């Protein structure tokens, strides 16, 4: 009974600020700090940035608004929200639910690595020699990365466990402003290094020779992932909105904030990488291998290193919280269980899947399916198949079946008509293209 009452009486964000911090915390994550800078570097720098911004505004903002709209209107997690449109559509909610298990399985492993790096900087145990060797041997170890991953998982779970206001909202209200201050400080410091101008050129001077059709689709995929569109995070967070909240304004702020943070992350990383003559397109290793080399060469490097990994940890933590909240909110309503039990169940399921993803860097690195390790399979399936597929389904269901009333969104007829046009006729074909690209079919 108590459980049913608590579901009926849905939690609300206590202020607009809390909502913005929570959605920003959800969007800003490893995607901004680790992935965005190097993908931008590999895809023509400034040109990629321009494509990314245009695609975010004209394409990704549409499903982003749809997710918030669905959550705000239905006031339910992702499974029940779809079921409220049509009982049979619950399956689409379940697909989001599955995605919300797949992503943490690899995301939390990287989260665990950030915990490890905080630990080694804090205890002054930073390896003096070859960073690449250290990273490879650490990741291949069976126990330590797993323990770090579990610590990260428990830290993420602690907040949804405490509830929306006392847990999720408080965490984001404190962590996000702190994160922004640290980011601005580190990005500002980077600019004072010798040769930092080379890093800025790398980011902001377009290299048209690198422009291909792939660049556009890579930018689109990056935009969806970094805005956390496509697995119901924003449906879930939107469901805690008050009826009169202005979701257009919130979406605008979210997009702006997320983009500025990604650019600041680039400004924090590239001038430093260039001033020490290191490889800027190092890809996945950029953060865990290249940057420790920079810190080793800097005065007070250990302090900067510690700050950087705390920053990365904060980004991953607030996204991790939102990833967990999707599945927690979904099963708590669906099966009418308590929030605490739902948190324990979801964390345990994710933990089981984290075993093979963690070990795919060491003990089981030879087990491959389609030539991918378990970690790569989870990442590939979630990012290239499930996220675009869920987004496509969302646009079709909201645009063609739910047909949201104008009052829920805006009182501007022109805006509403353009929104509906993009939603029904432009975004779906673009997403289909993205999926074909993700499957290497284009």
**Could you give phi then psi for residue 230, rounded to 5 degrees?**
115, 10
Question: Any contact of residue 219 with ligand PHE (CB under 6 A)?
Answer: no
In 385-442, which residue ranges form alpha helices assigned H by DSSP?
387-396, 413-421, 427-438
Q: Which two tokens stand for residue 109?
A: 């492993």
Question: Any contact of residue 317 with ligand PHE (CB under 6 A)?
Answer: no
Question: Any contact of residue 226 with ligand PHE (CB under 6 A)?
Answer: yes
Taking the least distance from each CB to ligand PHE, the nearer of 32 and 131 is 32
Taking the least distance from each CB to ligand PHE, the nearer of 126 and 427 is 427
Question: Any contact of residue 103 with ligand PHE (CB under 6 A)?
Answer: yes
Question: Any contact of residue 32 with ligand PHE (CB under 6 A)?
Answer: yes
Q: Which two tokens stand for residue 99?
A: 């995605």
**Could you give phi then psi for residue 220, rounded to 5 degrees?**
-65, -45
Taking the least distance from each CB to ligand PHE, the nearer of 35 and 76 is 35
User: Which of 27, 64, 289, 324 is close enough to bind ligand PHE by CB under 6 A?
Assistant: 27
Question: Any contact of residue 323 with ligand PHE (CB under 6 A)?
Answer: yes
Question: Any contact of residue 231 with ligand PHE (CB under 6 A)?
Answer: yes
Calpha distance 411→433 (Å, rounded): 32
Calpha distance 348→233 (Å, rounded): 20
The pattern of x and - marking residues 140 through 179 that bind ligand PHE according to CB under 6 A reads: ----------------------------------------
Question: Any contact of residue 225 with ligand PHE (CB under 6 A)?
Answer: yes
Question: Any contact of residue 228 with ligand PHE (CB under 6 A)?
Answer: yes
Question: Any contact of residue 114 with ligand PHE (CB under 6 A)?
Answer: no
User: Which of 31, 63, 93, 190 is close enough to bind ligand PHE by CB under 6 A?
Assistant: 31
Question: Any contact of residue 343 with ligand PHE (CB under 6 A)?
Answer: no
**Could you give phi then psi for residue 369, rounded to 5 degrees?**
-120, 130
Task: Please give the DSSP secondary-structure letter assigned to residue 208.
Answer: G
Shortest CB 322 distance to ligand PHE, Å: 6
Among the listed ranges 21-29, 79-87, 178-186, 388-396, the one in contact with ligand PHE (CB under 6 A) is 21-29
Bridge partners of 372, per DSSP, are: 369
Site size toward ligand PHE, by CB under 6 A: 15
Question: Any contact of residue 305 with ligand PHE (CB under 6 A)?
Answer: no
Question: Any contact of residue 270 with ligand PHE (CB under 6 A)?
Answer: no
Among the listed ranges 211-219, 225-233, 277-285, 402-410, the one in contact with ligand PHE (CB under 6 A) is 225-233
Q: Of 56, 19, 21, nearest to 314 (Cα)?
A: 21
Q: Of 314, 287, 303, nearest to 115 (Cα)?
A: 314
- Residues 7-41 as b/e (b if ≥16 CB within 10 A, e otherwise) read beeebbbeeeebbbbbbbbbbbbbbbbbbbbbbbb
Calpha distance 154→159 (Å, rounded): 9
- Please report where in the chains the tokens 């702190």 appear, as a residue: 178
Question: Any contact of residue 251 with ligand PHE (CB under 6 A)?
Answer: no
Shortest CB 382 distance to ligand PHE, Å: 8
Question: Any contact of residue 390 with ligand PHE (CB under 6 A)?
Answer: no
Residues 161, 170 contacting (CB under 8 angstroms): no
Q: Of 17, 25, 19, 317, nearest to 180 (Cα)?
A: 25
Among the listed ranges 28-36, 62-70, 237-245, 408-416, the one in contact with ligand PHE (CB under 6 A) is 28-36
Alpha-carbon distance values, 58 to 51, 234, 261 (Å): 11, 18, 20
- Contacts to ligand PHE by CB under 6 A: 26-27, 29-32, 103, 225-226, 228, 231, 233, 319, 322-323
């Amino acid at each position: 009974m108590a459980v049913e009452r608590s579901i009926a009486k849905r939690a609300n964000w206590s202020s607009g600020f809390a909502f913005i911090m929570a959605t920003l915390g959800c969007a800003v994550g490893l995607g901004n700090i680790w992935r965005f800078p190097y993908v931008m570097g590999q895809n023509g720098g400034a040109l990629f940035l321009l494509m990314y911004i245009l695609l975010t505004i004209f394409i990704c903002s549409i499903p982003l608004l749809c997710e918030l709209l669905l959550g705000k209107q239905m006031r339910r997690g992702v499974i029940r929200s779809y079921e409220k449109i049509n009982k049979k559509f619950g399956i689409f909610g379940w697909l989001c639910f599955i995605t919300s298990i797949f992503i943490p399985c690899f995301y939390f492993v990287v989260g665990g690595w950030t915990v490890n790096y905080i630990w080694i900087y804090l205890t002054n145990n930073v390896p003096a020699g070859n960073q690449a060797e250290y990273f490879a041997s650490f990741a291949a170890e069976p126990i330590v990365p797993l323990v770090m991953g579990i610590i990260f998982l428990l830290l993420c779970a602690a907040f949804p466990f405490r509830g929306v206001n006392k847990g999720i909202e408080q965490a984001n209200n404190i962590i996000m402003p702190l994160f922004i201050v640290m980011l601005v400080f580190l990005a500002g410091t980077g600019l004072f290094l010798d040769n930092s101008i080379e890093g800025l050129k790398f980011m902001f001077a377009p290299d048209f020779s690198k422009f291909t059709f792939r660049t556009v689709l890579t930018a689109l995929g990056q935009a969806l992932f970094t805005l956390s569109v496509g697995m119901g995070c924003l449906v879930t967070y939107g469901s805690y909105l008050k009826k009169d909240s202005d979701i257009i304004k919130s979406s605008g702020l979210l997009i702006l904030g997320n983009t500025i943070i990604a650019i600041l992350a680039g400004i924090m990383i590239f001038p430093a990488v260039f001033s020490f003559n290191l490889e800027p397109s190092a890809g996945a290793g950029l953060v865990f291998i290249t940057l420790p080399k920079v810190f080793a060469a800097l005065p007070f490097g250990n302090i900067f290193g510690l700050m950087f990994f705390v920053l990365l940890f904060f980004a991953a933590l607030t996204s991790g919280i939102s990833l967990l909240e999707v599945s927690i909110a979904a099963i708590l309503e669906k099966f009418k269980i308590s929030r605490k039990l739902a948190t324990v169940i979801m964390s345990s399921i994710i933990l089981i899947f984290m075993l093979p993803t963690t070990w795919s860097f060491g003990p089981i690195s030879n087990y491959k399916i389609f030539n991918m390790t378990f970690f790569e399979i989870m990442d590939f399936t979630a990012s290239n198949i499930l996220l675009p597929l869920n987004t496509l389904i969302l646009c079709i269901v909201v645009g063609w079946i739910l047909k949201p009333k104008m009052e829920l969104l805006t009182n501007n007829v022109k805006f509403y008509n353009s929104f509906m046009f993009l939603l029904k006729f432009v975004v779906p074909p673009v997403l289909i293209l993205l999926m074909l690209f993700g499957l290497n079919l284009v």
